[in-house]
Homo-oligomer: A and B are copies of this chain.
């Protein structure tokens, strides 16, 4: 059933973009608004919303269903031309927002055949609304991260003499499920030694060695909502001086950034706080990515905690804080938590400790 509160918030945000009407196509945005997942593959799918009008769902008749969702159903078949179907609903005198993901095979004929006064990317209005989580969403995000904290303890215990990254990673899904999660938020990253200095590393047959860094970047889904956390351990041996130094710089970057997060500051300033810590120690060039990303129903949602993003944080934004230093000949370390922005600070969703831990 359409969540009227969320719908109202989207319409207000669309108005700020100068839009009175929009067709939303992203299945997760539709799920977020209606509570129901639709998947139409290569076929057209769209939820039409407009100020003062009943929403309408464009749906291929193949996926017909009985349930009432609070939107008029506009059914069509594989042999129908979709353009007149869209025209039967859209106000042709006004601009129409379309989803940023709407494919060219629909966008181009909509423009050519004058479905609306103008076709505009309207996703910002939806994405900004989704970026501020409501109470129900925050609770599910807390739970997903709580499971992630508990899972991390078990993941750490999977690492023993002779084991490979792939063998460890293969056991993570069952652990998540045993803790009540339904799926991965993304495939688990397990990286030993030099591999931990590649932020895109996928688990392979590398065997853990004494003195290795052991990096876990992992997340699960709980009722559709994602967690995402990174921790680094050391195998069988206290970290070397350099490893310890790098670890502590990254930890400070993570903690300093978390300490300054609050509503109404630029995302730029959060990234800069962490990056300055790393730069001051001479490792700036080894922190090769943005500080964080927004997260919710998707692991990566609209919104970057990045140096070039001058947008302001809003209360109830949820994003990751994940500084890293990647130097294959010394150490690859990333430390990541999720945070919820509050009026005057933030709530850190992960409580798994950040002290140096050696796996015996």
Contact = CB atoms under 8 A, between A and B. Distances in A.
B120 A108 contact: yes
Contacts of A242: none
Q: How many identical chains are in the complex?
A: 2
Contact of A105 (B111, B119, B121, B300): B121
Contact of A108 (B41, B103, B121): B121
Contacts of A105: 100-101, 121, 123
Contacts of A79: 308
Nearest to A98: B104
B101 A121 contact: no
Interface residues of A, number: 25
A286 to B, nearest CB: 15
A337 interface: no
A102 interface: yes
A135 interface: no
Interface string A99-134: 111111101100100000001110100000000000
Nearest to A99: B104
A25 to B, nearest CB: 9
Interface in A297-356: 300, 306, 308
9 contacts: A41-B300, A99-B104, A100-B104, A101-B105, A103-B104, A104-B104, A107-B107, A107-B108, A108-B119
